[in-house]
Amino acid sequence: MAKQVRQLDRVVIRFAGDSGDGMQLTGDRFTSETAQLGNDISTLPNFPAEIRAPAGTLPGVSSFQVHFADTDILTPGDAPNVLVAMNPAALKANLADLPRGADIIVNTDEFSKRNLAKVGYTASPLTDGSLDGYAVHEVGLTSMTVAALSDHAISKKDAERAKNMFALGLLSWLYSRPYESTLTFLERKFAARPELVAANTAAFKAGWNFGETTEDFSVQYEVAPADLPAGHYRNITGNVALALGIVAAGVRSGLPVFLGAYPITPASDILHELSKHKRFGVTTMQAEDEIAAVGAALGAAYGGALGVTTSSGPGVALKSETISLAVALELPLLIVDVQRAGPSTGMPTKTEQADLQMALYGRHGEAPVAVVAPRSPSDCFDTALEAARIALTYRTPVVLLSDGYLANGSEPWLLPDVASLPDLRVEFADAPNAPNGDGFLPYLRDQETLARPWAIPGTPGLQHRIGGLEKADRTGDISYDPANHDLMVRTRAARIEAIRVPDVEVEDPDGGAQVLVLGWGSTYGPVGAACRALRSRGHAVAQAHLRHLAPLPANLGAVLRRYEKVVVPEVNLGQLAQLVRGRYLVDAISYNQVRGLPFTAAELEGMLEEVVKNA
Amino acid sequence: MPDPVPVSLTTKDFKSDQEVRWCPGCGDYAILAAVQSFMPELGIPRERTVFVSGIGCAARFPYYLNTYGMHSIHGRAPAIATGLSTTRPDLSVWVVSGDGDALSIGGNHLIHALRRNVNLTILMFNNRIYGLTKGQYSPTSELGKITKSTPAGSADSPFNPLSLALGAEATFVARTIDSDRKHLQSVLRAAAEHHGSAFVEIYQNCNIFNDEAFEPLKNPATRDDYLIRLEHGSPITFGAQGQWCVIHPPGGFGLEVKETASVDPAEIVTHDAAVAEPAYAFALSRLPDLDLRHTPIGVFRRVERPSYDALVREQVATAKAKANGASQEEQLAAALASGDTWTIG
Ligand SMILES: Cc1ncc(C[n+]2csc(CCOP(=O)(O)OP(=O)(O)O)c2C)c(N)n1
Ligand code: SF4
Ligand SMILES: [Mg+2]
């Protein structure tokens, strides 16, 4: 039966199931197929903190949302158009996010009395009318998979586990996805067990064929390729992009990279990824704790390496004293904070932007550092390079603030030309620098960057001692002189302010906007999507987004003063807003939400519309 | 430790221009003088020697040596030195720490550096007190110690630093005393020659806050009966006439002191620092009584085990060797383009 084909401009699908159902993998594969087709994509995984919560329970639900479109998009989508629910828990946990009319594909095999009871359903939602407003497709995913694999010599358990591939095959058919990459993937993944390659491939095809033949799906959809810039692409998560940015910084600086890290969600994947890149001279050390991790990175930086440490809020708090030491030593150091919902253990797998003020001020004494934040998963690559540039050029610790949303989310990345990446080569001190010709002054500064010489151990004639005690200007000798301390404190502040960062750009395509939305970090996507939506409805609104939080771009004050109203949406209680108000005396409107989730474009659109209308 | 190269340096070459600021009479002076006069022997150029310290009186040490040095933060020197030693095998990296620095705030870093066997020489100046903060008890102070913070006597049992190091399976463990320069230098020499973590406890007198803490080991009237000088390959006997000895009592776990005349000479333990099993050195570390009677000094344990830093560098070198002539840039381009990629336009 030839089916009707309908064109769509965008679709949001959420795959949801038990932690053991392979939903992350299913989502990844669907994303990859979609990338091959040339759609723009944005993804958002959402998994429980528990590794294997009891099967079939609400805490055990894991999901993966993918948004794909024929235009460029900025977010993983506010609400799914399609929910794939592998069990009652997945349905219950996600139903509230679905708009009426959405498609729900349910695995009816899992809707047993027992499974329903586990999540508190007294009657089956499939029969009690509670799903009346939705287009429900009841599919026996498990039983059909097992039937399709009846002549495969594999265990019943392995056959049942292939149900995610059946679901993927069905969805791939429904949205006309090219599936070659999935078949190659299966061959690679199960290379050691050919029987599983055959079974999973068969399950995928059975799902595809089921779509083609069943009456339940009368329409097949297509989403045309997006008009993206020409080039070579890959899909990338924020954590992998960040790790590759660090590798690239090592290559472009010619320095060995040393990563000291202690595992913590959601930063661990950076450690995992970097540990695969030893051939670039990358050394990764899993330290005994975060203090040792940053200490070892600082020790390596002292010896002339690009020292990096990666963690999340609780771990960065532990590093605080060592970062202050690095401020006093004036050595390059890159500290990555993949923020998560706090305080304390908080919600480890959920996102938040609440470490901004810790990054800026969370140290003893006047201990300024540079702070940068990426705006999207692929931007983590560029931001890591920028952080390394600042650290190496200005000999300072730099905090890079990513977050859980960027870390695990993904988007297509236009691969950069390696030769065009910034040149980060550094010069170590190799000769006495005292004006009278002999002697070495470890705290004699470069007039432009205010950086002191990086004289690494092993350099003959430049032996010197550094430490946390206050140092005399120029000589670096221990000093308790009041005037010297005042000078050094001010100089350390001036060093950060002297860092050259690009002006902040304002996006106001219609011109004449009265309202400016100022964001930082991972809110770029939802803020941008909200602004676009507003503009498409005839409202002018300007958007500015900060990558550099310390120092702030030189033009920021002037930009802020150009607008009647400045709105600062943040996934915290107003940390940037407070900074902007204090520094520029701008009466910024702080808009906040701290639910462990990114903003939805829709809620920002609604909020901004009110502000624009009243401007 | 980097290979020695012929350099002719003198004690003076290792003195920095900084004024030494310990209290007059402090044991740290003797240790500094011993180190400054011993360094030339190692044949390592000054620029390839780095002293990393934590915080405390002891930790001021690097300022007074004309080598590279970092006076870091309290307790963290082993961690910082680990990053340096791992990335710079051409350097001779030393850690100087106090009993509070190494065993209290930095206890975690110390045991992990030792178990990893990072190539470091760690000197712990044990004065059994917090000197810099003016006299609180430390993790090596005796139970019941009366200090400013424990007017009724401390209720904490002390660490035995060598037992701790041996529990972490340190590959080189030794003890020496500030007042015995010859012994101190012989221990430092052995420690410096060791590949991997070398842990040296140096009994150091804080004449201001814990004076005479090691007096029985120094006083001519008592020292011969209190000190056990360990010599690799020699039977362990001590006392002015060798009237005491150490035996391994049958059926017991540890070692015991006996009158030499009362035992069969074959029973006397011959010191062997190379015993693979740390239990022997551990038993030695348990010999002293609370009053310091029967305190062994010298090298307790000296065994070979691959060092963390060497293993890590080997992994990096192996990975680098797989480049097949591709430049770093070419390899980077390939790494960026790994996984599923696609082309638009
Ligand atoms: C984080 C931190 N906590 C506390 C201190 C204060 N402090 C400095 S040295 C010290 C103890 C030093 O004792 P020890 O390591 O035995 O060295 P000593 O002075 O006896 O040589 C303390 C508690 C500090 N500098 N930093
Ligand atoms: S306080 Fe004690 S350890 Fe510190 S310098 Fe004075 S005598 Fe030496
Ligand atoms: Mg002490």
- On the question of pLDDT at B4 being above 90, the answer is no
Cα of A443 vs centre of ligand 1, distance in Å, is 26
Cβ–Cβ below 8 Å for A32 and B69: no
For the CA atoms of B238, B243, B244, B246, what is the dihedral angle to 10 degrees? 90
Mutation probe of ligand 2 site: the residue of B99, B208, B210, B214 with most atoms within 8 A of C-beta: B208
- On the question of pLDDT at B109 being above 60, the answer is yes
- Is the CB of residue B86 less than 8 Å from the CB of residue B52? no
- Is the CB of residue A62 less than 8 Å from the CB of residue A27? no
> How far apart are alpha carbons A521 and A524 in whole angstroms?
6
Mean pLDDT to the nearest integer, A362-379 = 98
Give A315-359 pLDDT, tens digit per residue. 999 999 999 999 999 999 999 999 999 999 999 999 999 999 999
Other C-beta atoms closer than 10 Å to the C-beta of B20 total: 15
Helix, strand, coil % in chain A, rounded to nearest 5: 40, 20, 40
> How far apart are alpha carbons A186 and A328 in whole angstroms?
52
Whole-complex ipTM: 0.97
- On the question of pLDDT at A1 being above 60, the answer is no
> How far apart are alpha carbons B245 and B254 in whole angstroms?
14
Cα of B159 vs centre of ligand 2, distance in Å, is 21
**How confident is residue B1, by pLDDT bands cut at 50, 70 and 90?**
low
Give me the pLDDT at residue A497, please: 97
Among B199, B235, B232, CA closest to B94: B199
Give me the pLDDT at residue B5, please: 61
Mean pLDDT to the nearest integer, A62-87 = 96
Q: Do domains A4-223 and A234-420 have the same CATH topology?
A: no
Arithmetic mean of pLDDT over chain B: 96
Give A517-575 pLDDT, tens digit per residue. 999 999 999 999 999 999 999 999 999 999 999 999 999 999 999 999 999 999 999 99
Q: Does B320 touch chain A (CB under 8 A)?
A: yes
Give B21-47 pLDDT, tens digit per residue. 999 999 999 999 999 999 999 999 999
Give me the pLDDT at residue B6, please: 59
Mean pLDDT to the nearest integer, B139-154 = 97
**How confident is residue A51, by pLDDT bands cut at 50, 70 and 90?**
confident
Q: Where are the domains of chain A?
A: 4-223, 234-420, 427-500, 506-614
Give me the pLDDT at residue A47, please: 83
The C-alpha angle A235, A241, A246, rounded to 5 degrees, equals: 155
The residues that bridge with B125 in the sheet, in sequence order, are B98, B202
Cα of A198 vs centre of ligand 2, distance in Å, is 75
Give A460-504 pLDDT, tens digit per residue. 999 999 999 999 999 999 999 999 999 999 999 999 999 999 999
* CA closest to B330 among chain A residues: A418
Does ligand 1 have an atom closer than 6 angstroms to the CB of B209?
A: no
* CA closest to A421 among chain B residues: B329
Does ligand 2 have an atom closer than 6 angstroms to the CB of B201?
A: no
Mark which residues 258-317 of B lie under 8 Å from A by CB: 312-313, 315-316
Give A176-191 pLDDT, tens digit per residue. 999 999 999 999 999 9
- Is the CB of residue A98 less than 8 Å from the CB of residue A104? yes
- Is the CB of residue A465 less than 8 Å from the CB of residue B70? yes
> How far apart are alpha carbons A34 and A37 in whole angstroms?
5
A415 chain-B contacts, CB cut-off 8 A: 333, 336-337, 341
CATH architecture group of domain A4-223: 3-Layer(aba) Sandwich (3.40)
Cβ–Cβ below 8 Å for A465 and B16: yes
Fold designation for A506-614: Rossmann fold (3.40.50)
Just give the CATH number of A234-420: 3.40.50.970
Alpha helices in A175-289 (DSSP H): 180-189, 194-213, 238-253, 268-274
Between the alpha carbon of residue B92 and those of residues A234, A560, B49, B85, the distances in Å are 45, 54, 5, 8
Arithmetic mean of pLDDT over chain A: 96
Mean pLDDT to the nearest integer, A435-453 = 94
Give A227-270 pLDDT, tens digit per residue. 999 999 999 999 999 999 999 999 999 999 999 999 999 999 99
- Is the CB of residue B86 less than 8 Å from the CB of residue A300? yes
Tokens of B296: 């062994």
The residues that bridge with A274 in the sheet, in sequence order, are none
Q: Which ligand 2 atom is nearest residue B58's CA?
A: 3
Work out the minimum CA distance from A611 to partner chain B, whole angstroms.
Answer: 39
Give B238-262 pLDDT, tens digit per residue. 999 999 999 999 998 999 999 999 9
Q: Is B27 helix (H, G, I), strand (E, B) or coil?
A: helix
* Cis status, amide bond into B40, omega within 30 of 0: no
- Is the CB of residue B14 less than 8 Å from the CB of residue B39? yes
- The DSSP secondary structure of B93-124, one letter per residue, reads EEEEEEHHIIIIITHHHHHHHHHHT-SEEEEE
> How far apart are alpha carbons A358 and A312 in whole angstroms?
12
- Is the CB of residue A41 less than 8 Å from the CB of residue A257? no
Torsion-angle region of B200 (φ positive above 0: left; ψ -120 to 50: alpha; else: beta)? beta
Q: Is A302 helix (H, G, I), strand (E, B) or coil?
A: helix
Mean pLDDT to the nearest integer, A274-303 = 98
